[in-house]
Structure 1
Amino acid sequence: MASTLHHVPTRFGRLTFRAEGPEAGAPLLLLQRFRGTLDDWDPEFLARLAEGRRIIRFDNAGIGASEGEVPTSVDGMAEVALAFMDAVGLEQADILGWSLGGFVAQHLAHRAPDRVRRLIIAGSGPGGVAEGPQPHPKVPEVMAHPQNTEYDFLFLFFTETEAGRAAGCAHLRRLGAVADRVPAVTGAAFMAQLRAISGASGLRERLGRLGMPVLVANGVADVMIPAYRSYVIAQEAPDAKLVLYPDAGHGFLFQHIADFTAEVGRFLADH
């Protein structure tokens, strides 16, 4: 059974969230991927994260059960995230952004650095990285499919090895068992997210101004956002640690759940 669905009013409309774990300590706010809702986080991943801290996952404006319109810029998505923090009384939080959420998290950290205690950037990049490996040429075509098949999902998020495919199928089974899900991302919301992504400005030139500790992680074989871009963040942010997972792609955090959640726990506890 999914945790209770909560709603909170903001100037962008009523936003939806779920929360798990103990109340004590700095909460961890999760920022979701492109085309994902708050119910597309792996339940095993959530359970392990929530063992030692409060975790909060919400849907940005126009996504899932949240009201409002999807922002037309990534910075606008960060503005909604900040309004959500205000509405639920989060004066400061640790932030974990995955994929598109990783870009939103960086914008949030620049917009309100005093509100972000620690920053975790998973399967993401800083934009503005012209050098190094590029995304797989099939990625734009597959991302643009109106509906992603299981094959599409496995291609985008997991490696084609036996271990990678097994991990991807296990992840899909766990997601399939999630009850009481919020509505899936609509076609209009999907197109608005695409417009925001395509018009996103680079964050690379601002990496040196990230004052909080940063944990950067990815799979070495990410076909969407190559791991080199995680390396760029770790190299150019002043206080950043990089962790890369073997035989793993964009969905590494749901393939190496025990290892990555333990890494997150150490990172947050050490600071």
Structure 2
Amino acid sequence: MSATTYTPTAIDTPTQFVESKGRKLAYRVLGSGEPLILCVRFRGVLDVWDPAFLDALSRSFRVITFDYSGLGRSTGEANYDPRALAQDAVDLADALGIQRFFLAGWSLGGHAAQVVAITHPDRVRKLVLIGTCPPGKLSHGPEQVFFERALKFDNDLDDETVLFFEPASERSRMAAKASNARIAKRIASDRSPVVPEETYLRLLQAGEAPSDELFVDRGGYRDALAITPTPILVISGDHEIVFPVRNWFEMIPSWRSFHLLVVPQAGHGPHHQEPQFCVDAIVSFIANVS
């Protein structure tokens, strides 16, 4: 009998490291095929992604997740300015020898991903934005409950349900519990440390954390995305407490390559609530939209 080759999954694929510009970036790779780089949320590290979402993506792409500079297991100076986060993604791609790639970002990572698409349009093949907002002044800001829960150092299941799901929906509450259990299965010996409280509070006090003023329109970001030939898919929950989906409605008449998917009875983490549905949408978008 021939030996069976084991394929790593999101709960046990090893963390790797690459040196770039004097700092070490921690990253993981799942699957094979065309590269898809994922930029993570505020307070996020390698281990906040739902394994079900990553594993489903890895059946179609070479999925690359990473820790931003100075956070998790990466070294360097921590900075939540989207331009700095975008540079992390570009530097990682350079270090891995990846010239062109698909790019996705969740929440603050969506800001970083948009900056990459604006500043390196020749490198981003298609752009997926999850639970985030367009650049510039927003008509609809975060709900106060986001700040009350997101700034607590220890978030329990109830906090996560409020932050990333729709607590008014039984379906969403059950999805929150299931997602939390999947994330907890990551092997303990190779986890990225959480972002220290003093770090995210310092970055918040510096004006570098989610708010309706964070993703400022430097150099005409919004206008650049309106005319970009790069296809854009936005996935949002209908009750998005951080970046309300209504902010995207204003983009519909003017952004020529913009697609919007709204997940019902969902919050800031629709891809954790409905991982296979969101992955199916991403795969179809990348395969069929030009």
TM-score using structure 2 length: 0.87
When residues 72 and 156 of structure 1 are mapped into structure 2, their CA distance, relative to the original with a 3 A threshold, is closer
Structure 1 residue 257 and structure 2 residue 264: aligned? no
Q: Does the aligned pair in 2 maintain the 1:123–1:230 contact within 8 Å?
A: no
CA distance in 2, matches of 1:186, 1:129: 29
- What is the match of residue 201 of structure 1? 216
Q: Does the aligned pair in 2 maintain the 1:218–1:230 contact within 8 Å?
A: no
Paired residue for 1:218, among 214, 236, 248? 236
CA distance in 2, matches of 1:251, 1:153: 10
Report 1:36-75 matches (<5 A): 36-75=44-83
Structure 1 residue 230 and structure 2 residue 245: aligned? no
SS of residue in 2 equivalent to 1:106: helix
- Write the letter of the residue equivalent to 1:77: L
- Write the letter of the residue equivalent to 1:196: E
Q: Deviations over 1:75-107 (max 9, x none)?
A: 111112211111111101000101111000001
Structure 1 residue 189 and structure 2 residue 199: aligned? yes
Structure 1 residue 7 and structure 2 residue 17: aligned? yes
When residues 70 and 137 of structure 1 are mapped into structure 2, their CA distance, relative to the original with a 3 A threshold, is same
- What is the match of residue 21 of structure 1? 31
Q: Does the aligned pair in 1 maintain the 2:133–2:248 contact within 8 Å?
A: yes
Q: Does the aligned pair in 2 maintain the 1:207–1:236 contact within 8 Å?
A: no
RMSD of aligned Cα (Å): 1.8
CA distance in 1, matches of 2:253, 2:58: 30
- 1:233 deviates by 4.2
Paired residue for 2:259, among 241, 244, 260? 241
- What is the match of residue 144 of structure 1? 151
Range with bigger deviation, 235-244 or 255-264: 235-244
When residues 243 and 212 of structure 1 are mapped into structure 2, their CA distance, relative to the original with a 3 A threshold, is same
CA distance in 2, matches of 1:235, 1:12: 44
Runs of 5+ consecutive residues of structure 2 not aligned to the other structure: 1-10
Instruction: Write out the 4+ residue segments of structure 1 that deviate beyond 4 Å after TM superposition.
Output: none
CA distance in 2, matches of 1:83, 1:254: 27
Q: Deviations over 1:99-129 (max 9, x none)?
A: 1110000011111111101000111001434
CA distance in 2, matches of 1:47, 1:234: 31
CA distance in 1, matches of 2:270, 2:90: 27
- What is the match of residue 165 of structure 1? 173
Q: Does the aligned pair in 2 maintain the 1:125–1:225 contact within 8 Å?
A: yes
Runs of 5+ consecutive residues of structure 1 not aligned to the other structure: none
CA distance in 1, matches of 2:252, 2:69: 30
- 1:251 deviates by 1.0
Q: Does the aligned pair in 2 maintain the 1:12–1:80 contact within 8 Å?
A: no
Report 1:64-103 matches (<5 A): 64-103=72-111
When residues 21 and 188 of structure 1 are mapped into structure 2, their CA distance, relative to the original with a 3 A threshold, is same
Report 1:99-114 matches (<5 A): 99-114=107-122
SS of residue in 2 equivalent to 1:48: helix
CA distance in 2, matches of 1:192, 1:232: 33
TM-score using structure 1 length: 0.92
CA distance in 2, matches of 1:80, 1:235: 32
Q: Does the aligned pair in 2 maintain the 1:97–1:105 contact within 8 Å?
A: yes
CA distance in 2, matches of 1:7, 1:108: 21
CA distance in 1, matches of 2:80, 2:242: 21
How many residues align? The count is 268
SS of residue in 2 equivalent to 1:110: helix
When residues 70 and 233 of structure 1 are mapped into structure 2, their CA distance, relative to the original with a 3 A threshold, is farther
CA distance in 1, matches of 2:20, 2:99: 16
CA distance in 2, matches of 1:87, 1:244: 35
